[in-house]
Amino acid sequence: MEHGRSSIGDLEFPLTRSELVRRIGSPLQRRRFRRTRATAVLSTVVALVAAVVGGVFGWPHLVCGTGLQQIEGECVGVNDGSYSFEADLAWLTSRIHDMNTEVEELAASRDGVEAFRIVMMTSFSLDGSADLSEEQIVRAVEGTYVALMRQNGFAETGSGVEVVAEGSRIFQLYLANEGSVQQGTDAVVDDLASMVDDDIPLSVVIGQSSTTTETEEVARELSELRIPMVAGSSTSTTINNVHSPGLIRAAPDNEDFAAALRDHLDRRVESGQEPARGLLLADENGADTFSLDLADQFRRYLDPYLVQNSLTFQGSAGSENTAVYFDHIANEICANPGTDAVFFAGRFSDLGTFLRSLELRGCRAESGVPITVYSIELGLLPDMIRSYSGTECEPADDDSAGEHYRLVQASAFDPSWLEEGAWSPEGFDDYEAAVTTTVRGETESTSVPEDFYSGYSLIYYDAATIAARATLLGFEASDESTLAASVRNHLFRVTREPTGSGHLDYLEELEGRGAGRHIPILSSDCSVDADPFRTPDVPYDELYPDLAD
């Protein structure tokens, strides 16, 4: 008998096929079996490796939906509204998805109908980890959506079928989530670059929301890709058409706000009041371009009212709103009774913490009046809102924070504009009616005056209106290989554009900022400045020759 083989009588039953081949099979049979087994093992290993690799690289896309991927626990990228990002946004993103679907169907089925895509880029994190609040994010999306519904002619009917005719120009709105700490910006930029040649082409990006070093980098990258931007709530002057050609802004920038406060303080002195004497309290967070730039603008414009010493703190921007403590700063301010004002160059979330520290300390200026804190925000700051009831400004009670400090802010929105018969910028009433009409019927939607107070609905409504106008001008010219590049060439043809904030002009010498926007000065004790500052159509150096270079 051949060595290594057993007789049948030596075998124990039942036998497996592998044991039978090993014990009594021929060498050829054994070799074939070993090859078959090795192939099976190799196939299994390959399948397992593929599953692992697919899980690592494919899973982030599978859990998020069309056009999105998961990075650091959040779904980032560009989406058509079919994914809501947050449950509290589902009612609004579903409406956006319906609008986008209808625009696509109309463009495909009706002769001469041209469709364009506008993308809104921001953080869609409503859990408090972003630099914007849930209220600000929701209202920003709402304002953008309403503006494009109006542009499409859908707002009055809720449907475009009856109103869109041959030769119409209609818009889709896509949402780009950059993540709560902007971790998804690279993915978003890649997605945007791929959209310029789509059947419905990308024309303009609205964004971003928070001004950081990352925001500046994204603006430069989109500029290099020849994709135009309308800056939304990014107010740093470092984001401009010089550093990033192809960018204009909807909101006032930090220079506008600083100039408005300078105008307000100058007029107080001209009326015979004592000039304010205040120190600068500045955020020195190196990643927070907004605060660093605001401090620079305050130093430049408010120099006549600044005392020599200034104080600094490390703000929370970009750190998921880590708590900042101001107790030692409040003590230092209170130790100098000759200081009657503080000019706060930081974010609204840190301002709230500072005001609480100042309130607990309860100090006053040498004259015995509360210390005045000057700041800026697009809408009413949280500590300002409680001074207003509906659209009526009510002085603070003796027991409230108004006894410990007075808050004065430059804003892009005044709650008095909501009052029936009161003065408001041209176009504001149409904006208010469009918002309340288009999104009515949802408990989360704008329904009471306080829902307008953040100012984000107004600013993003304006941004979308400007973006749509620029798109039409670029399409009309069609002087580049892509619509986006053509739009980029014609941003400064947007002049006297009717928005919710009045007629805005864009002039190249203003580096992308809008002229004609009103900046009211609001106060927590209801002494509202009745004559709001209006952004000029000339460079500020021509108005303030004393400004330092």
DSSP summary character for residue 377: -
Structural tokens at position 369: 């009046």
pLDDT at 264 over 60: yes
Is the pLDDT at 401 greater than 50? The verdict is no
> Rounded to a whole number, what is the largest CA-CA distance in the chain?
123
Per residue in 162-198, pLDDT (tens digit) is: 566 667 899 999 999 998 888 999 999 999 999 999 9
Mean pLDDT lowest for which of 24-33, 187-196, 237-246? 24-33
Distance CA 365, CA 373 (A): 12
Q: Is the pLDDT at 478 greater than 80, yes or no?
A: yes
pLDDT at position 402 is 45
Mean pLDDT calculated for residue range 233-248: 94
> Is the pLDDT confidence value at 457 over 80?
yes
Task: Give residues with Cβ within 8 angstroms of 348, minimum separation 6.
Answer: 375, 377, 381, 382
- Residues 213, 287 contacting (CB under 8 angstroms): yes
Model's pTM, two decimal places?
Answer: 0.85
Half-sphere exposure of 458 (CA within 13 A, CB side): 32
What is each CA distance from 541 to 184, 241, 549, in whole angstroms? 38, 18, 9
More confident residue, 386 or 509: 509
Q: What is the pLDDT of residue 9?
A: 56
| Range of weakest confidence among 18-22, 230-234, 423-427, 496-500 | 18-22
Q: Provide the pLDDT for residue 549.
A: 63
Mean pLDDT of all residues in the chain?
84
What was the pLDDT predicted at 476? Answer: 95
Tell me what pLDDT residue 163 has.
62
More confident of the two residues 233 and 24: 233
Contacts of 548 (CB under 8 A, 6+ apart): 300, 303
* pLDDT above 50 (res 50): no
Q: Say whether pLDDT at 482 is over 60.
A: yes
Lowest-confidence pick of 157-161, 208-212, 509-513 = 157-161
pLDDT at residue 535 greater than cutoff 90? yes
Residue 52 in this model has a pLDDT that exceeds 80: no
What tens digit of pLDDT does each residue of 356-374 get?
898 888 777 666 788 899 9
Token pair, residue 151, equals 């542009």
Report the pLDDT averaged over residues 46-63: 50
| The pairing of beta strand 229-231 with beta strand 278-283 | unpaired
154 pLDDT higher than 90: no
